[in-house]
Amino acid sequence: MKGVILGINPRARLVDLSHEIPPQDVRAAALLLETAVDAFPRGSVHLCVVDPGVGSARAAIVLRARGQFFVAPDNGLLTPIMACAPGEVARAIDHPLLRRPEVSRTFHGRDLFAVAAARLTLGFPFARVGPIVESPVRLPFPRPVRRGATLCGEVIAIDRFGSASTNIRAEDLSEAVEIRCDGIPFGPLRDYYAQVRPGSKVALINSAGRLEVAINGGSAEALGARVGSLIEVTLSAPDNSEDVDGARGENSDDSEGNRRLDHHQQLGPPGEHGGIGG
């Protein structure tokens, strides 16, 4: 993929976001993308390929959102980006200049997505990419529910440290008195890990703005935390409302297939980010 990109635009600056996405885990890729895009400048092109449906009838798309371009299979990977940018347009990759002459049925990352991303960095017009995709695929996402003084959510991802990120966001919380994961108490909400002793349980808002349960210097996964674990937050005041999250996210069950994340490339636009075009 990098060779294809550099063959089209030798001045491209390529940034690998991760090589650690579990195979075929579209949800994990979507959550990682959500945490990264705000750090990149306007005009950046993100190449995102976790593609269990490679070679099938699933569409290949370019989404223009938040002043950036996202090149990906239409399998829900861009759900968090679309959730934060309602009304933005996605187009199916259909122009012959956006693919190699021979396209493998098992490596669209190289033969299709990389070509489209590279052309976009050189100013290929978004309107010529292809027809508008009216309803891009969105991953279903669990929403936290508030019942009285308890907010119920769930774990949606576990990182390599064993810390568990949830579908509860900072803005969903008022004063959290106690946080539990599958009935195990993690205490009140803290500001940082070292507020508790090493080896102790801790709950805090992580860098993605989500509630996280963790062990300072250890692994919450070792205590049984897993994707889908119940999170219960006791709040200081009851509230009769429900569904506080409102379809913000992008989770789903893991997909089956035969491709994994090839790369996530961030390519600066011509004249920006010290990369392409100078």
Q: What does the H/E/C string look like for 186-232?
A: CCCEECCHHHCCCCCEEEEECCCCEEEEEECCCCHHHHCCCCCCEEE
Please report which confidence band the pLDDT of residue 238 belongs to, taking 50, 70 and 90 as the band edges.
low
Percent of the chain with pLDDT over 90: 74
Can you list the domains of the chain with their CATH numbers? Answer: 2-139+253-267 (3.40.50.10790), 145-239 (2.40.30.90)
pLDDT in tens, 95-127: 999 999 999 999 999 999 999 999 999 999 999
Percent of the chain with pLDDT over 70: 85
Give residue 177's pLDDT. Answer: 86
pLDDT in tens, 37-82: 999 999 999 999 999 999 999 999 999 998 999 999 999 999 999 9
pLDDT in tens, 127-175: 999 999 999 999 988 899 998 899 999 999 999 899 999 999 999 987 7
Could you tell me how far CA 199 lies from the centroid of its own chain? 29
